[in-house]
C-alpha cells in the first residue's frame, strides 16, 4: 500500500517554511526530517508516525488518539502512530507537526559528511 499523497501534501504545506526540513522516502512512506532527524512521516499503513519525547509518550497516548508505534514486534516509546481519523482538520495535523518538529529540533543535528567515529 502506498502512502496517502493528499496527506503528504498537507504536511508539505505545514512544514514548507521550516528551515532545515527535507523529505525522504522511508519504509514505503514519506518522512520529513529536520536537520537529519525524523520529525513526522506519512505512513504506508495510513495516518502519520510522529517522533516525540519518549517521556511524553504515555501522556500523549492517554490524552489523544495516538498509539505507541510497534516496530519489529516492539513498542517504541517516542514514536507515535496517529490514525487518519485524528488528522482530518488542519489544526489536528498541525498539532502533531509541531510536536514532531519541536522534538526533532531538540536533537543533535545529523548531517551529510559528518564523521561517524
- Establish if 96 belongs to a structural domain: yes
What is the model's pLDDT at position 71? 87
In the beta sheet, which residues pair with residue 103? Answer: none
- Establish if 42 belongs to a structural domain: yes
Separation CA 22–CA 70 (nearest Å): 25
pTM of the full structure: 0.89
- Establish if 11 belongs to a structural domain: yes
Separation CA 79–CA 61 (nearest Å): 11
- Establish if 19 belongs to a structural domain: yes
- Establish if 112 belongs to a structural domain: no
In the beta sheet, which residues pair with residue 21? Answer: 34
CATH of the domain at 73: 3.90.1150.30
What is the model's pLDDT at position 114? 46
Answer yes or no: are the C-beta atoms of 30 and 40 closer than 8 Å: no
More confident of the two residues 28 and 74:
74
Query: What band does 117 get if pLDDT is binned at 50, 70 and 90?
Result: very low
Tens of pLDDT, residue by residue over 6-24, are 999 999 999 988 899 999 9
Here the cell at position 34 is 529536520
- Establish if 95 belongs to a structural domain: yes
- For 36, the 3-state DSSP assignment is coil
Separation CA 5–CA 59 (nearest Å): 30
Per the listing, cell 519525547 goes with 53
Q: Look up the domain containing 52 and give its range.
A: 5-105
Tens of pLDDT, residue by residue over 44-103, are 999 999 999 999 999 999 999 999 999 889 999 999 999 999 999 999 999 999 999 999
In the beta sheet, which residues pair with residue 51? Answer: 79
- Establish if 97 belongs to a structural domain: yes
What is the model's pLDDT at position 28? 86
DSSP class of residue 77 equals E
Total domains present in the chain: 1
Amino acid at each position: 500500500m502506498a502512502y496517502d499523497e493528499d496527506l503528504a501534501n498537507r504536511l508539505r504545506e505545514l512544514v514548507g517554511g521550516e528551515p532545515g526540513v527535507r523529505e525522504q522516502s522511508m519504509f514505503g512512506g514519506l518522512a520529513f526530517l529536520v536537520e537529519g532527524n525524523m520529525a513526522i512521516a506519512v505512513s504506508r499503513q495510513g495516518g502519520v508516525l510522529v517522533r516525540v519525547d519518549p517521556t511524553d509518550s504515555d501522556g500523549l497516548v492517554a490524552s489523544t488518539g495516538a498509539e505507541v508505534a510497534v516496530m519489529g514486534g516492539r513498542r517504541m516509546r517516542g514514536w507515535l502512530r496517529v490514525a487518519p481519523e485524528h488528522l482530518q482538520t488542519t489544526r489536528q495535523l498541525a498539532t502533531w507537526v509541531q510536536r514532531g518538529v519541536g522534538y526533532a529540533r531538540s536533537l543533535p543535528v545529523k548531517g551529510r559528511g559528518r564523521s561517524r567515529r
